[in-house]
């Protein structure tokens, strides 16, 4: 298959982890004879520095002209700590999502046997957890009218949803539930918010077309608790933009690190694949950031184009790296590996059919022979 991929590595650790994802895509194209062409473009703080715009016109054009987008991370402390900044890196990502109509953000979450005992949560609580969050991505409070008075005394963010915006992501979530464990949980705050009551009405109606899917409702405060108390109860979680943002960071604790969570954003135009973690500026340039979320985002890209075997290869190699403890410091405090070394291991594992290249003893010593 031939694919044109826009590469927007962005800020902070974005470039480092994206580089590993590209390494893995190259290994896949070599192994399966695909042609992936990459076009790099600036977004976020780096784009502001160069052009004054977090999403330059040229970057948007590159994305529109591509088959897929691989995204790194966005954000910079110089903006985080300055609430008066008029232009912010995050605006680039939000505008990109909106311009491309990427209304559904799909965030899968699972546990890895080798990490279960390391979790902050108890093993018996998280064992077997496997769910996916369908987060609405182009509406709600993120995109409603914003106001802030000159005096700095009043500000508001409007949360608005239309029936269409709710329906289109709901259909995707129900379809996903049909091929999973057939359970869908709508997370909202329908006891307080009008928008949530609209979500309930629409989703209840849509559920009639998916009689095989068991629909449940959960208020978001309770959902935040249930995700920690009994995460294995969830299959597909459907929710609005901001609730999805918050709950997915919370849920990442179950997997073991936010550095493991990948996502796909799909909708009208070019689909985008991005780790859910941010730019982690403290780690920038240190070669310590976990590249697995970026690499698993590349696997989601391949899944999207029905390259299932290729995507599976990546997932198996990632699992192997976790099993052998070839991981970055967020998962491995004693004998950790660098971002580049984890990427190299996964690449070599994918390319080596016999799996003969590594020496278990050296790995135990923290020195993989392939590195
Ligand atoms: C995410 C991020 C973004 C969001 C930020 C960077 C705007 O936290 O993708 O989850 O809030 O959507
Ligand atoms: Mn987030």
List the CATH number of the domain containing 260.
Answer: 3.40.718.10
Kindly state whether residues 180 and 58 are assigned to the same domain. Answer: no
Residues with CB under 5 A from ligand 2 (ion): 245
Q: Which of 278, 280, 297 to mutate to test the pocket of ligand 1 (most atoms within 8 A of CB)?
A: 278
Kindly state whether residues 196 and 162 are assigned to the same domain. Answer: yes
The answer, yes or no, to whether residue 309 has pLDDT greater than 70, is yes
Q: Which of 94, 109, 259 to mutate to test the pocket of ligand 1 (most atoms within 8 A of CB)?
A: 94
Long-range pairs for 171-174 at CB < 8 Å and ≥24 separation?
171/206, 172/104, 172/106, 172/134, 172/266, 173/104, 173/134, 173/236, 173/238, 174/206, 174/207, 174/209, 174/210, 174/213, 174/236
Ligand 1: which residues within 6 Å by Cβ?
74-75, 90, 93-94, 245, 276, 278
What distance in angstroms lies between residue 154's CA and the mean position of ligand 1's atoms? 24
pLDDT, mean of residues 177-192: 98
Domain ends where: 191, 226, 253?
253
pLDDT tens column, 270-295:
999 999 999 999 999 999 999 999 99
What distance in angstroms lies between residue 246's CA and the mean position of ligand 2's atoms? 6
Q: How far apart are CA 69 and CA 315, in angstroms?
A: 20
How much is the pTM?
A: 0.94
On whether residue 295 sits in a domain, the answer given is yes
pLDDT, mean of residues 199-205: 98
pLDDT, mean of residues 84-98: 95
Q: Closest residue (by CA) to atom 6 of ligand 1?
A: 90
What per-residue confidence (pLDDT) applies to 371? 43
What per-residue confidence (pLDDT) applies to 93? 97
* Host domain of residue 43: 1-110+255-371
On whether residue 223 sits in a domain, the answer given is yes
Kindly state whether residues 234 and 124 are assigned to the same domain. Answer: yes
pLDDT tens column, 231-244:
999 999 999 999 99
Ligand with minimal distance to 54 CA: 1
Domain count within the chain: 2
pLDDT tens column, 326-340:
999 999 988 889 999
On whether residue 115 sits in a domain, the answer given is no
Measured in whole angstroms, the distance separating CA 187 from the mean position of its chain's CA atoms is 19
On whether residue 105 sits in a domain, the answer given is yes
What per-residue confidence (pLDDT) applies to 357? 54
pLDDT tens column, 109-154:
999 999 998 889 999 999 999 999 999 999 999 999 999 999 999 9
On whether residue 280 sits in a domain, the answer given is yes
Position with higher pLDDT, 52 vs 366: 52
Kindly state whether residues 140 and 172 are assigned to the same domain. Answer: yes
Kindly state whether residues 187 and 104 are assigned to the same domain. Answer: no
What per-residue confidence (pLDDT) applies to 359? 53
pLDDT, mean of residues 187-202: 98
């Amino acid at each position: 298959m031939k694919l044109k991929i826009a590469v927007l590595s962005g800020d902070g650790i974005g470039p480092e982890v994206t580089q590993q994802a590209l390494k893995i895509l190259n290994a896949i194209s070599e192994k399966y004879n695909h042609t992936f062409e990459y076009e790099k473009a600036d977004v976020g703080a780096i784009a502001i520095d160069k052009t004054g715009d977090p999403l330059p016109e040229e970057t948007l054009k590159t994305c529109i002209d591509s088959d897929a987008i691989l995204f790194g991370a966005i954000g910079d402390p110089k903006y985080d700590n300055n609430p008066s900044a008029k232009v912010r890196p995050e605006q680039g990502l939000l505008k990109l999502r909106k311009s491309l109509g990427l209304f559904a953000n799909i965030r899968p979450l699972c546990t890895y046997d080798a990490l279960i005992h390391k979790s902050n949560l108890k093993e018996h609580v998280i064992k077997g957890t496997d769910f996916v969050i369908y987060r609405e991505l182009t509406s709600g409070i993120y995109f409603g009218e914003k106001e802030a008075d000159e005096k700095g005394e009043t500000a508001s963010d409007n949360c608005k949803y239309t029936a269409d915006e709710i329906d289109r992501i709901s259909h995707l979530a129900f379809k996903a539930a049909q091929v999973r464990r057939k359970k869908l949980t709508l997370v909202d705050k329908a006891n307080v918010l009008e928008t949530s009551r609209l979500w309930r009405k629409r989703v209840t109606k849509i559920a009639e077309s998916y009689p095989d899917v068991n629909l449940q409702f959960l208020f978001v405060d309770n959902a935040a608790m249930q995700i920690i108390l009994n995460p294995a109860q969830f299959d597909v979680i459907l929710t609005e933009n901001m609730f999805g943002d918050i709950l997915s960071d919370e849920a990442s604790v179950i997997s073991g690190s936010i550095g493991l969570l990948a996502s796909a954003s799909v909708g009208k135009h070019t689909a985008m694949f991005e780790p859910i973690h941010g730019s982690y500026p403290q780690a920038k340039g240190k070669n310590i950031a976990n590249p697995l979320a970026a690499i698993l985002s590349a696997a989601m890209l391949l899944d999207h184009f029905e390259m299932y075997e290729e995507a599976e290869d990546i997932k198996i190699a990632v699992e192997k790296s976790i099993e052998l403890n070839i991981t970055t410091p967020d998962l491995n405090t004693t004998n950790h590996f660098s971002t580049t070394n984890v990427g190299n291991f996964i690449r070599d594992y994918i390319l080596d059919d016999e799996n003969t290249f590594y020496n278990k003893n050296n790995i135990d010593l923290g020195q993989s022979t392939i590195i």
